[in-house]
Amino acid sequence: MDAPIPFSPRIPEQVSFDRHELGTILSVYGRMVAQGEWRDYGISVLREVAVFAIFRRTAEHPLYRVEKRPKLRQRQGMYAVVGMDGQILRRGHDLAQVLRVLERKTIRVVD
């Protein structure tokens, strides 16, 4: 007779963006590439955070990082946009709202 196995919540081995989240991020990314602002991106999938890094040129430090940290879901929100200097530019529960900070940062005045 086997003893019942106690319930334990499944802890994911890594955090990643789902298809909907990637679609939202790539929509903003595509607009900025079309404007000539950004050129490359990288995705890191780690144990506690997933990162979408945005680069102006290949092989330099990222301009921005879009981070997903599920542990912060009940607190400030699991999505954040982090600047090149490490400053959190915006954090929240809704990815589309958090990404709006990127569109405001790159508005240019044309003569």
Tens of pLDDT, residues 92-102: 999 999 999 98
Rounded Cα gap, residues 68 and 37, in angstroms: 23
Residuewise pLDDT in 10s, the chain (111 residues): 566 666 555 655 788 888 999 999 999 999 998 988 888 899 989 888 999 999 987 667 889 999 998 888 888 888 999 988 889 999 999 999 999 998 865 555 555
Phi-psi region of 108 (alpha: psi -120 to 50; beta: other; left: phi over 0): beta
Angle 101-67-102 from CA coordinates, rounded to 5°: 15
Phi-psi region of 33 (alpha: psi -120 to 50; beta: other; left: phi over 0): alpha
